[in-house]
Structure 1
Amino acid sequence: MTGNETVLQYLTSVPAWYLATSVDDQPHVRPFSFAAEQDGKLWFCTATTKDVWEELLANQRFEATSWWPGHGWLILRGIAGLDDRVGDDIRQAGYDHLTGLGEHYDGPHDPTLVYFSVEDPQAWICNHDEWKPLVF
């Protein structure tokens, strides 16, 4: 299993995972729940109206973590690729996911919806006894 496949499995096997940003030496953490893969890259979805987008514009470095009961937890570090070039399938899936959470957008091509890729990913699967790095 590739690093991307393992990360996606950890992120999509739980109801929510957490993404952290840092701006002006202040960390910010919030739940996320959408992840997809396209062209060998992981992609996440948010909106231009959310603080997380402004934080990523100011500092593209982020870290995410997910605990999958019985499997340990994931730590993912990366740089947000802000080029928002996902295909229609992922754009539709992100739209469906966020509207399913009660958010409102004018369709999957609403310019408020933005997708960012995980550039230069580093990830580890951890339990109480070991940290296993993933290979991308």
Structure 2
Amino acid sequence: MDGLNTVLEYLTSVPAWYLATSVDGQPHVRPFSFAQIQDGKLWFVTARTKDVWQELLQNQRFEATSWWPGHGWLILRGRAGLDDQAALDMREAGWKHLERLGEHYEGAGDPTLVFFSVEEPEAFICNHDEWVPIEL
């Protein structure tokens, strides 16, 4: 399995994973649960009305982590690519995913929804003894 698919598997094999942003030196962490690969990049979805989007506009650097029981945990670092280039099928999947979580939008084309890519990714699989880099 290639590195990007390994990262995707860690993010999608658990109910939620956590994404951290930092603005003005204050870290902010929140749960996320949608990830998909398009054009050789990992993509996430959020809404333009959420604090996380406003924070990413100020500082694109983020870190995400996911603990997959029995497999260790993932640390993913990167920069948010803010140029939303989500294909229609990914927009549909992201919209449906958020709807299942109880969020409500006017469909996959709702301009409130925004997809961001992971640029300059670094990823590690960790356990209590070591961090193993994933080649991305």
The code of the aligned residue for 1:97 comes to H
Corresponding residue of 1:9? 9
| 3-state SS of paired residue (1:64) | strand
Give the 4+ runs in structure 1 shifted more than 3 A.
Answer: none
Q: TM-score, normalised by structure 2?
A: 0.99
CA distance in 2, matches of 1:51, 1:67: 24
Corresponding residue of 1:21? 21
CA distance in 1, matches of 2:131, 2:67: 14
Corresponding residue of 1:87? 87
State the 1:2 CA deviation.
1.5
State the 1:132 CA deviation.
0.5
Matches within 5 A, 1:22-101: 22-101=22-101
**Is residue 84 of structure 2 the alignment partner of residue 105 of structure 1?**
no
State the 1:130 CA deviation.
1.6
State the 1:3 CA deviation.
1.4
| 3-state SS of paired residue (2:97) | helix
Q: Tell me, which stretches of 5 or more residues in structure 2 are unaligned?
A: none
State the 1:128 CA deviation.
1.0
Identity %: 76
State the 1:10 CA deviation.
0.2
CA distance in 2, matches of 1:106, 1:78: 30
Q: TM-score, normalised by structure 1?
A: 0.99
Q: What are the superposed Cα offsets for residues 75-111 of structure 1, whole Å, 9 maximum, x if unpaired?
A: 0000000001010110000000000000010000100
| 3-state SS of paired residue (1:52) | helix
State the 1:129 CA deviation.
1.6
**Is residue 127 of structure 2 the alignment partner of residue 127 of structure 1?**
yes
Q: Tell me, which stretches of 5 or more residues in structure 1 are unaligned?
A: none
